[in-house]
Amino acid sequence: MRHLARITVGALAALAAVAGCGSGPTPEALYAEAEQLRLKYEKCASDEAITLYRQAMTAWEEGGQHRDAARAGQGLGATYDQLGLLEDSLRAYQSALSLARESPDRVLESEIASAMGTARARTADGEVAFDEAREQCRRAHELARRHGNKRAEGSALSCFGEVAYYQFRPDEALERYKAAGRVCGEVGDRAGEAQAHLYQGHVYSDQSKFEEARDCFEQAQSIWVSLGDERGRAITLVGEARLLVRQGEYQEALDRFQSALALLRPMGDAVWEGSSLTGIARVYLD
């Protein structure tokens, strides 16, 4: 897990007072602290990050700084997502996207549209919701291509893949994930590349293409380890464990589910912690 230096809000306020400013931390300081807390992948830190993102977002919005407010909203959505609070994440991204559209930063708008499209797909309850998600992916992809930003383009392609995956269109999802991985590889977006491998692994596993799934999970895991990304490692362990269950390798599956659970519990990710517990229960039932 990343060990990031933490400056508390109280310390920031004290520094501001020493400098002759009685108004407390600036939104820039609040945002920087929130980013550090989010990336610790600990529930208490994530809860505090949410408060700080909200404070920074409000201050920037009131000051008419729509781009910065959108960035804070983007961080807020990401934090809710890593806590497994998918509906809250979607609402945060919706607010952030509205702010981004009022700013001159079209690449930021693309990034947030991809995140919103993905969140919409994961919470979709029917075709209308999937259509809305796909439209966000389309807009994100158009903006990324128009402004020549490959990293944003990779996110948009992944967004398309998620919509297809949750609509049970595995071949289309796989095509999109592969395209996302290629684009991320071109620009050195290692996290995006790992995510693309992970998502491909899920599709192959669902299709009982065990060797292809294992290769994808191994590639994803290798990158997550090199990046020090514990959440990515944990989610990939869950994917590997599900694959092993499908292959009848129950003890190895159990070991991976338990390893994933040990990583996920401190993070407070309700979705993936629940997935690990469900997997463990299935192993014992089988």
Span 26-39, pLDDT tens digits? 999 999 999 999 99
Span 104-136, pLDDT tens digits? 999 999 999 999 999 999 999 999 999 999 999
pLDDT of residue 24: 87
pLDDT of residue 22: 53
pLDDT of residue 13: 41
Span 195-240, pLDDT tens digits? 999 999 999 999 999 999 999 999 999 999 999 999 999 999 999 9
> Per-residue pLDDT for 143 more than 60?
yes
Q: What is the pTM of this model?
A: 0.89
**Average pLDDT in the 232-257 region?**
97
3-state SS, one letter per residue, for the chain: CCCCCCCCHHHHHHHHHHCCCCCCCCHHHHHHHHHHHHCCCCHHHHHHHHHHHHHHHHHHHHCCCHHHHHHHHHHHHHHHHHCCCHHHHHHHHHHHHHHHHCCCCHHHHHHHHHHHHHHHHHCCCCHHHHHHHHHHHHHHHHHHHHCCCHHHHHHHHHHHHHHHHHCCCHHHHHHHHHHHHHHHHHHCCHHHHHHHHHHHHHHHHHCCCHHHHHHHHHHHHHHHHHHCCHHHHHHHHHHHHHHHHHCCCHHHHHHHHHHHHHHHHHHCCHHHHHHHHHHHHHHHHC
Mean residue pLDDT across the chain: 93
Span 47-72, pLDDT tens digits? 999 999 999 999 999 999 999 999 99
> Per-residue pLDDT for 14 more than 90?
no
